[in-house]
């Protein structure tokens, strides 16, 4: 699966003059208390968003006129480390906390996703930027990650915020993200709907530093053995772990999915995580993300992909 992954470092990021001018004017907002992790389905509507347009306003503070390109974006908060185990994230449109043209888009509690929201390119070239902070602050030392895109128009994207290697030497708020393009098969065709099947894409990138060297296989209650990807054979099965988001085309239905240890790889007996229920209709697409603040509290987040 083609996924863009980014890390925040201590070095200053130089993106050029056009990037310095990104984002839209607008206001801020507060934060909500941290949410405890739980096995859950995230249908949307779980975050606070600001009103009004989420594109460039073209006024004197924004320096650029917005472009015609629009995209639908949502944000998932799976960011956790020793300092910030399960806190909220404030998501802003803009280049930095000091961006006079910045606009708050959402406050996302840990283990949840925002609604999809329409955003507009900040300039005619399609440039757009978002920045995530530990909730309640726009200080540089509370910045988690900055993500930039160049929209063509019509994209549907999920951006997942998560931790980076605690041995990186960066500040405690420094994080990483993964960007999943749910439309535009030229960018990522592995999330395309499968006729007559339900697509489930499972990942554990957000716990790769919580459960080091962890690897799992997926099984469905009542099924025979572990799920197989399109490239697996009778004698092979793809493991879930690292930064991969593994796609499976499965028979539609109300499914009970769990993650089992990759060894012995039979997907029987006691599961490590789950089960969670997936309403897997024919033609549907669903993310499942493993997440949690520590190895004893790992949950599965079920996140349907909008059609």
Q: What is the CATH number of the domain that holds 200?
A: 2.60.40
Residue 258: the pLDDT is 98
Select the more confidently predicted residue: 136 or 51: 136
165, 189, 213: which is the final residue of a domain?
189
Q: Which of 42, 70, 44 is nearest to 55 (CA)?
A: 70
96 falls in which pLDDT band (50, 70, 90)?
confident
Region for residue 43 given its phi and psi (left: phi exceeds 0; alpha: psi -120 to 50; beta: otherwise): alpha
Residues 157 and 204 in one domain: no
Residue 245: the pLDDT is 95
Residue 286: the pLDDT is 98
83 three-state secondary structure: coil
Residue 188: the pLDDT is 67
Q: Which of 27, 267, 284, 249 is nearest to 138 (CA)?
A: 27
**138-170 per-position pLDDT tens digit:** 999 999 999 999 999 999 999 999 999 999 989
Q: What are phi and psi of 207, to 5 degrees?
A: -115, 15
Asked if pLDDT for residue 256 goes beyond 50, the answer is yes
Give the separation between CA 50 and CA 26, rounded to whole angstroms: 9
Average pLDDT score over the chain: 83
Q: Which of 142, 131, 139, 78 is nearest to 108 (CA)?
A: 78
Residue 186: the pLDDT is 65
Region for residue 264 given its phi and psi (left: phi exceeds 0; alpha: psi -120 to 50; beta: otherwise): alpha
Give the separation between CA 102 and CA 132, rounded to whole angstroms: 12
Please, what is the Cα angle at 200 between 258 and 72, to 5 degrees?
130
pTM over 0.85: no
Residues 18 and 140 in one domain: yes
| Percent with pLDDT over 90 in the chain | 67
Number of independent structural domains in the chain: 2
Residues 149 and 247 in one domain: no
Residues 170 and 206 in one domain: no
Q: Which of 172, 229, 230, 175 is nearest to 202 (CA)?
A: 229
189, 218, 241: which is the final residue of a domain?
189
Residue 5: the pLDDT is 57
N-to-C CA span, the chain? 19
Residues 141 and 22 in one domain: yes
Q: 261 is in which domain, residue-wise?
A: 193-304
Average pLDDT over residues 72-76: 98
Average pLDDT over residues 208-222: 95
Asked if pLDDT for residue 25 goes beyond 90, the answer is no
6 falls in which pLDDT band (50, 70, 90)?
low
Give the separation between CA 307 and CA 164, rounded to whole angstroms: 31
Cβ neighbors of 160 (< 8 A, separation 6 or more) are: 75, 76, 78, 177, 178, 179, 180, 205, 206, 289
Residue 236: the pLDDT is 86
Residue 185: the pLDDT is 62
């Amino acid at each position: 699966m083609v996924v863009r992954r980014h890390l925040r470092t201590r070095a200053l990021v130089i993106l050029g003059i056009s990037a310095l001018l990104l984002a839209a004017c607008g206001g801020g907002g507060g934060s909500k208390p941290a949410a405890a992790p739980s096995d859950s389905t995230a249908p949307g509507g779980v975050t606070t968003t600001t009103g009004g347009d989420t594109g460039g306003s073209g006024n004197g503070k924004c320096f650029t006129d917005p472009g015609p390109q629009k995209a639908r974006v949502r944000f998932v908060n799976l960011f956790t480390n020793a300092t910030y185990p399960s806190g909220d994230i404030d998501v802003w449109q803009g280049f930095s906390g000091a961006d006079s043209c910045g606009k708050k888009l959402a406050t996302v509690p840990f283990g949840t996703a925002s609604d999809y929201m329409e955003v507009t390119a900040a300039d005619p070239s399609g440039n757009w930027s978002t920045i995530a902070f530990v909730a309640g602050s726009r200080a540089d030392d509370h910045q988690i990650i900055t993500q930039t895109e160049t929209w063509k128009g019509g994209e549907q994207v999920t951006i997942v915020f998560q931790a980076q290697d605690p041995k990186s030497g960066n500040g405690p708020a420094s994080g990483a993200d993964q960007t999943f393009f749910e439309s535009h098969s030229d960018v990522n065709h592995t999330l395309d709907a499968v006729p007559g099947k339900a697509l489930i894409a499972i990942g554990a990138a957000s716990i790769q530093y919580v459960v080091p060297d962890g690897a799992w296989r997926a099984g469905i209650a009542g099924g025979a053995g572990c799920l197989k990807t399109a490239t697996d054979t009778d004698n092979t099965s793809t493991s879930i772990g690292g930064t991969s988001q593994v796609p499976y085309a499965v028979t539609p239905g109300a499914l009970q999915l769990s993650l089992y240890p990759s060894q012995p790889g039979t997907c029987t007996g006691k599961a490590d995580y789950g089960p969670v229920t997936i309403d897997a209709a024919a033609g549907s697409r669903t993310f499942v993300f493993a997440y949690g603040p520590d190895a004893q509290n790992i949950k599965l987040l079920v996140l349907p992909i909008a059609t």
